Amino acid sequence: MNAAAFRDVAGMALRNLGRHRVKTVITTAAVAISAALYIFMDGWILGMNLESRRNIAAYEMGAAKIQTKAYFDKKDELPMYENFPGWETLARDLAKAGFDSAPRFTFTGTLYSRAGTAPLVFNAVDPESERRLLRYVPYVESGRFPRDGALELAVGSLAAEKLRVGIPDRPTRSEYEAEILGAAATEEDRAFVRSLYGPPRTSKEPRKPFSVPDKAAPAFEEEKLALKEGVSGEERERLWRILAASGRMDVRISTVIDVKAAPDSIRKNKFEQELLPSLDAGAQALVRSAYEPDPATGDYYLASADDALTSRVLETMVAADYPGAIRHINQLIDAVVVGVVNSPNPKTNGSVGYIPLSALQDEAGLMLGGAVTEILIRKAGADDAEIPGSAESPAAIRAALDRVLAADGRTFPDNLDVRGWKDYSADYLAASAGDEVSTRVMILFLFVLSFIGISNTMLMAILERTKETGMLRALGMTDGQVLLAYTLEAGLIGAIGSAIGILLGCLINIPMVAYGIDYSAAAREMGGDFGYRIVALFRSAWNPPVIAATGVVATVLSAVAAIPPTLRALRMPVTESLRFE
Amino acid sequence: MKRMIVSALAAFILAASARAQDPSAAELLARVDSNEVYSSISYKGRMTIEYQGKRYVKTFEAFARGGSDSYVEFLNPEDKGTKYLKTEGRLYVYSPDSEEVMLISGHLLKESMMGSDLSYEDTIDNEKLSARYVPTLAGKETLEGREAWVLDLAARKKTESYPRQKLWVDVVTGDLLRFELYALSGSKLKEYVLLKAQAIGGRRFPVEFEMRDLLRKGSRTVFLMSDVVLDARVPDSVFSLRNLER
C-alpha cells in the first residue's frame, strides 16, 4: 500500500470517529477508566512496597547484619546463646571500611507492669550507635530514649497501651481518676493534669438510627477521656514525670538466659540412645574423648580438663540440637520505662522493647560480658530515601571489611557471616510479592473486562456497517485496506482513551504521591499493622515505564479488538454485504 | 513438683535421724536429696488454681518412676485427655484438640503448666540439690509455730536455672515446710509452702502444698494428692510416646 492510499485510509478512520460519536465516546471512556485505574493501582502498590522496603532498612535493620552462621540458621527462634564477643573491634573495622554499625543483643521475655503483662522482644542496644544508624529513635512520642548504662526501657506504643505505661491518649474515666489524676501528688499537679484531658472529639461518622445493634459490643462502654490536642513537649514531659513518680513506669523484665554449657554428667541411656545417635562418627569420637563412663552407675561424666576440647564438644552438641547443652537461667530485671516509640514502621511500635546493652553486662542483667547477637550495618551517610543497593550488599560489605582486615593481617571470623536485609525480610518480601501478584491479577481482570466491552462495541459497530463495508469493497477498496481502516479506527479510540486515562491516572497520582491517604484510624482498629511496614500514611509512587506501557498496550489492544469482527465481515461476499439489512 | 514431693518425704528420714547437735548444712541438704528413695509413685491429684479473681480446678492421675520418667493425664472435663510425659529429660504434651504430641523445649519450658504457678521446667527438674548447690545454714526460724532450719543454697555454677534457693526444714519432723526460688538478680520468683504431710507406708509424705509464682499477682496453686501408692510396679508402657497418643 502506498503512502497516498494509507493517508486516505487513515483519514477515513479518523472521520469515522466523528461519524459514530456515541460509540467513540463510550469506548474511549472505557479505555480511559481502565488505563487510569491501572496507573493509580500500580502507583499505589509500588509506593507501599518502596516505602515498606525503605522503612525496613531505615527503621529495623539497616542494609545488612553480621551474625553467627548458627544464629542465622535458627533466627526465627531468636537463639540468644548463639552470640559473639568483640563487636567494638568489628565496629571500628566497619567504620574504616566506610560503614556505620550498631550492636544488638536480642532476647525475648515477659514485661510486667503495675497494670498488666505482655510478651516482648527486647533489643539491647548501644543508644548512640542506634541513633546514628536507625531512624526510629527520634520517634519517641513520649519521654525519651534510654540512656547508656541505665536499666531504662523504651517500648513500642502498642505494648505501652497494653501494659498501661507511658501517657495514655484515651484513658477510661476510671483509669484517668485512679492512675492519671491519682498520680498527681499536689493540688497544682492535679489542676495541671485536669487541664490536659477533656472529653474526646465527637466522631464524624453519621448516626445510623435503623442499624442493627452489634451483639458483640459491650452493653455498657465506659466513658473515655482524651488528651487534648496541642499539648506541648514540656507539658508532656511534666505529665510523664508526675506519672513516673507514681510508679506507673516501673516494670520488671522476666526472661530466661540461655547459655551453652557442657553438662557435667549425662545419664547412660541419654548419652548412648539420644546424644550419640544424633552425631556422625567423627563427632561421636570427639564426644567420647571428653566424657567417660562411671564404672558404678554407667552414667557419663565430663572428664576432660582441656577447655579447648570441651568447647569443641559443646559446639558439637549444640549443632546436633542436644537439649542438655543449653542451660536456662531464670532472670528478673527491674527497669523503668522512659519512653514510648511510635515510628512510621509498625514493627518498632509493637511488642518490642529497647534497653541499653551496657546495662545488661553483669549478673543484674544478662551476664553478656560484651557479647552481642548481631551488628547492624549501613553505609556511612546513606540516604534514608534510598533502598540499599549494590554498594551495601553483603558481598560489598564483606569485600570492604576483608580489605581493612587484610591490611592489619587479620581475617574475618569463620563463625560469622554478613547477610543482607532481604535475607531477613524474606517472609515479608514473599508475602508482598504474593499480594502484588493477586492485586495485579485483579486489575488485569478489570482491564480484560473493559477490552471485552471494547471488542463488543467494535463488533456491533462493524456489523452495523456491513452494507457500508460491501460498498467500499465494491468501489475497489481491498480487504486489507478495509481491515486497516477499522483497525486504525479502533487504535485511535485506544490512543485517545489511553491518553485521557494516563492524564487522569497522573492527576490522581499527584496528590497520592505528595500526600497519600491517612489510614491511621483504620490502622488503630487493626492493631497498627497492615502487613506493610507503614503505619498510617499510604503514598503512591511514580512508575514511568508502566505509565508509558499502559498507553501502548491500551492502544494496541483496542486496535487488535477490531480485527476479529472485521475479518468476519470481510468473509461475506460483496453482493451479500450490499443486501445486508 | 516431684522434687518438692520427695523432698518432703525425705523430711521423715531427717526426723527419724534427728540428733541432739545441730546438723551441718551439707548434712541437711544430703538428707533432703536422699529423700528420693521410692522407686515409683502413683497418685490422684487435684490442682486448684486461683488467678485474677477466678478459680480453676483440675484433676489428674500421675505416675512417676525413678528420677527420670513421669506421666500425667488430666481428667477434669475442660482438659480431659491432655497428657504430659517426661522421659529422657524431655517433656512432651499431647493435646486432644489438635491430636498432636508436642515437645516442650527452650523458652516454652518457662511457661506456666496448665495455667498453674508451676512452669514446665519446674516439673522436669530432678537433679540432686547437693550436686548443684553449696548450702549454708542460715539459722533457725519459726514458721506457723514450727521450728525450722533455714538453708541458703547458692548455685555451684552460674548456669543453674535458679541461682539461689532457700529451704526451711522442720527441726522436729524433718518436713520441708517452705522453699523459695530466686532469679540471677536475687529477686524472689516462687514460693512453696507445705500445707499438710501425712504418714504413707511408714513415711511422711507431703499431700497438700501451695505454690505461688510471685510474678503473677494474686495467684496461687494448691496441690492435693490422694490414693498415693509408693514403690508399686508401673509398666514401662506408661512412660512411652505411644501411651501419650493412645
Domains of chain B are: 2-245 (2.50.20.10)
Residue A467 DSSP SS3: helix
- What does DSSP assign to residue A205? S
Q: Is B90 on the interface with A (CB under 8 A)?
A: yes
Query: Is the Cβ–Cβ distance between A148 and A157 less than 8 Å?
Result: no
Write the CB contacts of A454 (distance below 8 Å, at least 6 apart in sequence).
Answer: A27, A30, A31, A490, A493, A494, A557, A558, A561
Which 8-state DSSP code applies to residue B78?
A: T
- What phi, psi does A361 have (nearest 5°)? -75, -30
pLDDT recorded at residue A332 = 95
> Are A332 and B185 in contact (CB < 8 Å)?
yes
Q: How confident is the model at residue B45 (pLDDT cuts 50, 70, 90)?
A: very high
For residues B110-132, average pLDDT: 78
Inspect the interface and report whether the beta carbons of A330 and B89 lie closer than 8 Å: no
Band the pLDDT of A569: cuts 50, 70, 90.
confident
Confidence check: pLDDT of B195 > 50: yes
Phi, psi (rounded to 5 degrees) for A418: -105, 125
**Rounded Cα–Cα distance for residues B177 and B31 (Å):** 15
Using an 8 Å Cβ cutoff, are A345 and A60 in contact?
yes
Stretch A130-154: mean pLDDT, rounded? 93
- Give residues with Cβ within 8 angstroms of A305, minimum separation 6: none
Residue with cell string 522453699: B179
Contact B64, B89 (CB under 8 A): no
* B178-195 as b/e: b if 16+ CB within 10 A: bbbbbbbbebebbbbbbe
Highest mean pLDDT among A261-270, B88-97, B188-197: B188-197
Distance from CA of B173 to the nearest CA of A (A): 32
Confidence of residue A85 (pLDDT cuts 50, 70, 90): very high
Q: Distance between CA atoms of A279 and B79, rounded to whole angstroms? A: 38
Phi-psi region for residue A409, left (φ > 0), alpha (ψ -120 to 50) or beta?
left
**Distance in angstroms (rounded) separating the CA atoms of residues B9 and B175:** 7
Q: Dihedral (C-alpha) B186, B189, B195, B198: value to the nearest 10 degrees?
A: -80
C-alpha cell at A378: 549501613
Over residues A264-287, the pLDDT tens digits come to: 888 787 788 888 988 999 999 999
The answer to whether A256 contacts B181, with C-beta atoms less than 8 Å apart, is no
- CB contact (8 A) between residue B121 and residue A328: yes
* Mean pLDDT, range A301-307, rounded to an integer: 87
With bands split at pLDDT 50, 70 and 90, how would you rate the model's confidence at A146?
Answer: very high
Return d(Cα B114, Cα B48) in angstroms, integer: 11
Asked whether the beta carbons of residue A323 and residue B89 sit closer than 8 angstroms, the reply is: yes
High-pLDDT (> 90) share of chain A, %: 45
Phi-psi region of B219 (alpha: psi -120 to 50; beta: other; left: phi over 0): beta
The single-letter DSSP state of residue A357 is G
Query: Among the ranges A125-134, A517-526, B94-103, which has the highest mean pLDDT value?
Result: A125-134
Provide CB contacts within 8 A for A3, sequence distance 6+: none
The rounded radius of gyration (Å) of the Cα atoms in chain A is 34
Does any CB of chain B come closer than 8 Å to the CB of residue A268?
no
Task: Mark yes or no for CB contact B161/A330 under 8 Å.
Answer: yes
Confidence at B124, pLDDT banded by 50, 70, 90 = low
Let me know: does A481 contact A5? Beta carbons within 8 Å.
Answer: yes
What phi-psi label fits residue B81: left (phi over 0), alpha (psi between -120 and 50 degrees) or beta?
left
Given CB atoms, is A269 within the 8 Å cutoff of chain B?
Answer: yes
Binned at pLDDT 50, 70 and 90, residue B14 comes out as very low
Q: What is the pLDDT, as a whole number, of residue A96?
A: 95
Residue B193, C-beta contacts closer than 8 angstroms, at least 6 positions apart: B177, B178, B209, B210, B212
How does A290-308 read in b/e, with b if 16+ C-beta sit within 10 Å?
bbebeeeeeebebebeeee
Query: pTM value?
Result: 0.80
As given in the structure block, the three cell numbers for residue A306 are 582441656
Whether the pLDDT of residue B180 is over 50: the answer is yes
**A250 touching B (Cβ < 8 Å):** no
Domain ranges of chain A: 3-58+428-579, 64-159+250-378, 167-200+221-248
Whether residue A94 is predicted with pLDDT greater than 90 in this model: the reply is yes
pLDDT of residue B48: 96
- Rounded Cα distance between B168 and B192, Å, is 10
Asked whether the predicted pLDDT for residue A441 surpasses 70, the reply is yes
Distance from CA of B118 to the nearest CA of A (A): 13
Kindly indicate the confidence band of residue B126, based on its pLDDT and cuts at 50, 70 and 90: low
Tell me, rounded to whole angstroms, the distance of Cα B205 from its chain centroid.
Answer: 12
Q: Which is more confident, A479 or A335?
A: A335
* Region A474-492 average pLDDT: 88
Q: How far is B217 from chain A (nearest CA, A)?
A: 9
Mean pLDDT of B130-137: 92
Q: Is B75 on the interface with A (CB under 8 A)?
A: no
Measured from the Cβ of residue B232, the count of other Cβ atoms closer than 10 Å reads 12
Distance CA B245, CA B84 (A): 10
What is the phi/psi pair of residue B13, to 5°? Answer: -65, -40
Q: Which helix (H) or strand (E) holds A127?
A: helix A127-133
Position A221 scores a pLDDT of 62
CA nearest neighbour of A172 among A119, A224, A231: A224
Number of residues written out for chain B:
246
Q: How confident is the model at residue B172 (pLDDT cuts 50, 70, 90)?
A: confident
Residue B205 grid coordinates: 509424705
CA distance A245 to chain B (A): 22
Q: Is B163 on the interface with A (CB under 8 A)?
A: yes
Q: Average model confidence (pLDDT) for chain A?
A: 87
Between A439 and A135, the more confident residue is A135
Identify which of A139-143, B11-15, B152-156 has the greatest average pLDDT.
Answer: B152-156
Q: Which residue has the higher pLDDT, A20 or B107?
A: A20
Lowest mean pLDDT among A469-473, B27-31, B63-67, B215-219: B63-67
Q: What is the pLDDT of residue A455?
A: 79
With 80 as the cut, is the pLDDT of residue B34 above it? no
In chain B, residues with a C-beta closer than 8 Å to the C-beta of A267 are 68, 88-89
Report d(CA A457, CA A454) in Å as an integer.
5
Higher pLDDT, A131 or A221: A131
Q: Note whether A42 and A50 are within 8 A (CB).
A: no
Q: Tell me if B110 and A267 make a contact (CB, 8 A cut-off).
A: no
Q: Cβ–Cβ of B110/A330 closer than 8 Å?
A: yes
Distance from CA of B27 to the nearest CA of A (A): 23
Cβ pair A273:B88 closer than 8 A? yes
- Give the model's pLDDT for residue A271: 86
- The pLDDT score that the predictor gives to residue A207 is 46
Percent of chain A predicted with pLDDT > 70:
94
Please give the Cα distance from A261 to A240 (Å, whole number): 43
**Cβ–Cβ gap B185/A331 under 8 Å:** yes
Q: Residues 9 to 28 of B: which have CB under 8 A from any A CB?
A: none
Q: Considering CB atoms only, which of B88, B157, B183 is closest to A331? A: B183
Q: Mean pLDDT throughout A8-31? A: 84
Residue B16, pLDDT above cutoff 60: no
Tell me what pLDDT residue B205 has: 80
CA distance A35 to A502: 6
pLDDT band for B102, please (50, 70, 90 cuts). Answer: confident
pLDDT at residue B234 is higher than 70: yes
Q: Contacts of residue B215 in chain A, CB cutoff 8 Å?
A: 110, 112, 117, 252, 254, 332
Residue B18 has pLDDT above 50, yes or no: no
pLDDT at A513 over 80: yes
Q: Is residue A135 over pLDDT 70? A: yes
Mean pLDDT, residues A108-134 taken together:
94
Identify the CA nearest to A44 among candidates A581, A505, A577, A551. Answer: A505
Indicate the SS3 state at residue B180. Answer: strand
Q: How high is the ipTM of this complex? A: 0.80
Q: Which residues of A149-188 are buried (b: 16+ CB within 10 A; e: fewer)?
A: eebbbbbbbbbbbbbebbbbbebeeebbeebbbebbeeee
pLDDT tens digits, one per residue of A536-552: 677 888 989 889 988 89
The shortest C-alpha distance from A333 to chain B (Å) reads 7
Residue A466 has pLDDT above 90, yes or no: no
**Res. B219 pLDDT band, cuts 50 70 90:** very high
> Mean of the per-residue pLDDT values for chain B?
83
Contact A329 B159 (CB under 8 A): yes
Contact call for residues A321 and A74 (beta carbons, < 8 A): no
A507: helix, coil or strand?
A: helix
Write out pLDDT tens, residues A184-243. 999 999 999 999 998 876 555 444 444 444 554 455 567 888 988 888 889 999 999 999
Q: Ramachandran region of residue A148, left (φ > 0), alpha (ψ -120 to 50) or beta?
A: beta
Mean pLDDT of A491-505: 92
pLDDT of the residue at A385: 81
Whole-number pLDDT of residue A201: 66
